[in-house]
């Protein structure tokens, strides 16, 4: 591995024009594809294998033309103080609005509030439901504009009008905070690398990699049904790892220059050593992201694969484009320890280089008091993880929107006029195709549901044209995300089991609340298999990298600590409301169902990044003959500064996405930033050296039979010691 990457680095350095042209051409090709592709919207959401999805599919089959997957909107009207919606003037205004909405080219149907029971008991609030023939992803902008225009006309007539539903869902925006995060990353790079040019290389290559990845996702969005959130998450992860991977290669290049090597040789050795760590770190991230497919939720699978592809691009760029750009930079990228004159180079540099750096001093402290540091780190992360025990999962609805949005105000008006459960109606689908008397089954189901607790209203069964299937709309007495409503869903399903036993008819529950319950259950069931798969594969990979049993085991346990602590922080802020004002959280509530498992996958990959980068340096010192504790100090002397910078950069990039308009992106950005904080600075910088100091030589123990069976991937670059300064490595690479 190290020898091949060494040759690749030298080849890219020598053939820099060819390599640079290749990546520029790839970026242009992806950009052209994106420019000609239709814009991404919100990906279709399905959860195969669940009752809610089965009922949804049955609706599409038995009620053709009902637009079961079409976009919806609820236009909510409130009369001025002292008036009612049944007053003649207000009634005429609503009728004009309904007529205007019904004329839309994509509108399937509009319900009149005065004919469909859409007026509250006190007469103060009414609503009209609009169903479109196409999904929210496919809805044309003219249809959204017509909806808003109709609402504004009613406002001009004196009514309070708000709009809920998914018809107004906008493409998520990340805002200016992302640019601030990149700015912080640039400052950290300049401080770490001591040169504006050297600092610019990781930023440039990361932007190229993310540009290729996001442009490719945009080009394929319509074909593969990729939502706008997919590209945002891919850019978040790709930008963070792209900067970090390039930083490690550039830092190692400068270290090789400081040892007196020629620039081409230094580039080859940087790619052969740091590049090997980049490859295996990238593999762990890819495994974690692709492993999300075991959950069998298509949207989650697509997000994971898209992000994994962006990470793979970042790895390839770090191995090829970085050494090519280093060739262009020439002497303007200085050896480690030297700064450019602009940043104070040449003033006291020799005396400063002789002093132990912060990494050396910190590692020396930890190896002297390993037990105390270990206990403090474990107890601290354990305390941070306590809120995770109260984790509640849910799917976002209009109730989780900021109070400044029309969707949230419409949600609140409906709750005020019709009760909190009105925003989360349950749709019960009765399939009586195999029953002898479908009408009797529909009546029995209607009566049994009415007899259940926590039910406010049950609409009469609505059969299809064939008369073999019917829908029953149930209004709970509690809000959609409450435990009471969840219990009601289970009660209806239990009653349905009894009806099936008596009549052979199937009773299925769907709707947003039922979908939420099924998603949460599916994710809970998938979490253990996912962890076993991802952690197991990465554990085997790390055994090959470190040739040790205990080091990979320690890495996995450290990951569990950091991810639980990060989940605890997410619960404390987004569910409990701690520091909500500082984080811009306007509404607390359940954590989005897919967020924890997605965060687990990403955090695991990133945690292994720092493990590989840090511990390979420690192992490199150990295999070169240093004692275990001294190897820890040596590893920190060369890698702590860079790992710290990489962690700060990654935190800044992730934190930049907290300003996104999408609730899931906000949560993931915050969760990943906190997870990197815990994992890099507590687990990898404190717990890892403490454990290695306590274990001593036992940390690197590997059974002899396993040592013989494992391939030697040579991450430390041991084989490179045989290389002097070969002249024809690029020719050898071409032959390979």
- Measure the CA–CA gap between 179 and 397, rounded to whole angstroms: 28
Residue 175: which pLDDT band, with cuts at 50, 70 and 90? low
Residue 715: which pLDDT band, with cuts at 50, 70 and 90? low
Q: What is the pLDDT of residue 150?
A: 92
Residue 220: which pLDDT band, with cuts at 50, 70 and 90? confident
Cβ atoms of residues 496 and 426 within 8 Å: no
**Region 349-361 average pLDDT:** 66
- 86-95, 154-163, 675-684, 713-722: range with lowest mean pLDDT: 713-722
- Measure the CA–CA gap between 420 and 26, rounded to whole angstroms: 52
Concatenated DSSP letters of 491-510: HHHHHHHHHHHHHS-EEEEE
Radius of gyration of the chain (CA): 30
pLDDT in tens, 386-418: 999 888 877 767 777 777 788 889 989 999 998
- Measure the CA–CA gap between 267 and 261, rounded to whole angstroms: 9
Helix H or strand E segment including 488:
helix 483-503
Long-range contacts of 618-622 (CB under 8 A, 24+ apart): 618/692, 619/546, 619/700, 619/715, 619/716, 620/273, 620/716, 620/717, 622/700
| Alpha helices (runs of H) in 386-482, residue ranges in sequence order | 406-418, 438-450
**Region 376-393 average pLDDT:** 91
- Measure the CA–CA gap between 350 and 608, rounded to whole angstroms: 35
- Measure the CA–CA gap between 433 and 734, rounded to whole angstroms: 66
Nearest to 73 by CA among 6, 137, 169: 169
pLDDT in tens, 69-95: 677 888 999 999 989 999 999 999 999
pLDDT in tens, 645-687: 888 888 888 887 777 666 777 888 888 889 989 998 999 899 9
Phi-psi label, residue 123: left if phi above 0, alpha if psi -120 to 50, beta otherwise? left
Strand, helix or coil for residue 417: helix
- Measure the CA–CA gap between 442 and 438, rounded to whole angstroms: 6
Average of per-residue pLDDT values in the chain: 83
Cβ atoms of residues 470 and 391 within 8 Å: no
574's tokens:
């987004």
How far separated are the first and last CA of the chain, in Å rounded?
13
- Measure the CA–CA gap between 2 and 390, rounded to whole angstroms: 46
Helices 358-368 and 688-695 pack at an angle, to 10 degrees, of: 50
- Measure the CA–CA gap between 41 and 141, rounded to whole angstroms: 12
DSSP letter at 561? Answer: H
Asked whether the predicted pLDDT for residue 713 surpasses 50, the reply is yes
553-556-560-561 Cα dihedral, nearest 10 degrees: 70
pLDDT in tens, 546-579: 888 998 888 888 888 998 999 999 999 988 888 8
Residue 521 burial (CB < 10 Å; 0-12/13-18/19+)? Answer: middle
Strand, helix or coil for residue 36: coil
Asked whether the predicted pLDDT for residue 283 surpasses 50, the reply is yes
Q: What is the pLDDT of residue 362?
A: 92
- Measure the CA–CA gap between 23 and 183, rounded to whole angstroms: 24
Strand, helix or coil for residue 161: strand
Residue 733: which pLDDT band, with cuts at 50, 70 and 90? very low
Q: What is the pLDDT of residue 350?
A: 45
């Amino acid at each position: 591995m190290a020898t091949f990457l060494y040759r690749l680095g030298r080849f890219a350095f020598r053939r820099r024009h060819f390599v640079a042209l290749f990546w520029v051409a790839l970026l242009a090709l992806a950009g052209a594809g994106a420019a000609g592709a239709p814009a991404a919207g919100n990906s279709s959401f399905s959860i195969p294998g669940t009752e809610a999805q089965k009922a949804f599919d049955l609706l599409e089959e038995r009620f053709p033309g009902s637009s079961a997957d079409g976009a919806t909107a609820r236009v909510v009207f409130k009369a001025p103080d002292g008036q009612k919606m049944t007053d003649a003037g207000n009634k005429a205004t609503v009728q004009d609005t309904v007529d205007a909405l019904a004329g839309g080219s994509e509108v399937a149907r509009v319900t009149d509030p005065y004919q469909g029971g859409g007026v509250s008991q006190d007469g103060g609030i009414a609503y009209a439901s609009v169903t479109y023939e196409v999904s929210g992803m496919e809805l044309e902008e003219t249809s959204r504009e017509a909806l808003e225009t109709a609402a504004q006309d009613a406002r001009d007539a004196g009514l309070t009008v708000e709009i809920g539903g998914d018809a107004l869902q906008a493409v998520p925006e990340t805002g200016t905070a992302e640019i601030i995060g990149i700015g912080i990353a640039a400052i950290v790079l300049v401080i770490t690398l001591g040169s504006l040019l050297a600092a610019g290389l990781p930023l440039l290559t990361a932007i190229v990699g993310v540009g290729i990845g996001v442009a490719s996702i945009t080009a394929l969005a319509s074909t593969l049904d990729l939502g706008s959130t997919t590209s945002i998450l891919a850019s978040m992860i790709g930008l963070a790892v792209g900067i970090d991977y390039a930083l490690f290669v550039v830092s190692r290049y400068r270290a090789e220059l400081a040892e007196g090597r020629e620039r081409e040789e230094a580039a080859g050795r940087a790619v052969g050593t740091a590049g090997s760590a980049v490859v295996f770190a990238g593999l762990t991230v890819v495994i974690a992201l692709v492993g999300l497919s075991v959950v069998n939720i298509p949207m989650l699978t697509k997000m994971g694969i898209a992000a994994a592809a962006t990470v793979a691009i970042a790895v390839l760029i770090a191995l090829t484009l970085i050494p090519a750009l280093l060739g262009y930079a020439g002497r303007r990228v200085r050896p480690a320890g030297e700064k450019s004159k602009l940043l104070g180079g040449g003033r006291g540099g020799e005396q400063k280089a002789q002093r132990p750096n912060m990494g050396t001093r910190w590692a020396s402290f930890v190896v002297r008091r390993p037990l105390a540091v270990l206990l403090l780190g474990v107890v601290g992360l354990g305390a941070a993880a306590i809120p995770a025990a109260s984790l509640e999962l849910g799917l976002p609805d209009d109730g989780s929107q900021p109070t400044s949005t029309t969707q949230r105000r419409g949600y609140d008006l409906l709750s005020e006029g019709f009760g909190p459960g009105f925003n989360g109606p349950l749709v019960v689908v009765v399939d009586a195709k195999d029953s002898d008397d479908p009408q009797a089954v529909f009546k029995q189901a209607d009566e049994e549901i009415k007899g259940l607790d926590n039910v406010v209203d049950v609409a009469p069964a609505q059969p299809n044209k064939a008369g073999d299937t019917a829908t029953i709309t149930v209004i709970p007495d509690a809000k959609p995300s409450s435990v009471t409503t969840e219990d009601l869903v289970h009660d209806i399903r239990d009653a349905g089991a009894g009806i099936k036993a008596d009549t052979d008819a199937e009773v299925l529950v769907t709707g947003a609340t039922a979908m939420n319950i099924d998603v949460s259950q599916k994710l809970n069931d998938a979490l253990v298999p996912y962890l076993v798969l991802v952690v197991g594969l990465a554990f085997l990979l790390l055994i090959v990298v470190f040739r040790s049993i205990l080091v990979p085991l320690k890495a996995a346990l450290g990951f569990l600590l950091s991810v639980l602590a990060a989940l605890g922080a997410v619960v404390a802020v987004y569910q409990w409301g701690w520091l909500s004002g500082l984080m811009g959280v306007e509404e607390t509530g359940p954590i989005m169902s897919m967020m924890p498992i997605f965060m687990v996958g990403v955090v695991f990959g990133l945690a292994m990044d720092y493990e590989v980068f840090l511990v390979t340096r420690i192992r490199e010192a150990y295999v070169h003959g240093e004692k275990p504790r001294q190897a820890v100090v040596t590893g920190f002397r060369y890698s702590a500064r860079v790992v710290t910078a990489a962690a700060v950069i990654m935190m800044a990039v992730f934190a930049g996405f907290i300003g996104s308009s999408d609730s899931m992106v906000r949560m993931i950005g915050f969760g990943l930033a906190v997870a990197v904080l815990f994992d890099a600075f507590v687990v990898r910088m404190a717990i890892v050296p403490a454990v290695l100091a306590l274990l001593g030589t036992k940390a690197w123990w590997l059974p002899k039979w396993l040592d013989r069976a494992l391939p030697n991937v040579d991450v430390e670059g041991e084989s490179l010691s045989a290389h002097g300064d070969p002249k024809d490595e690029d020719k050898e690479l071409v032959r390979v």
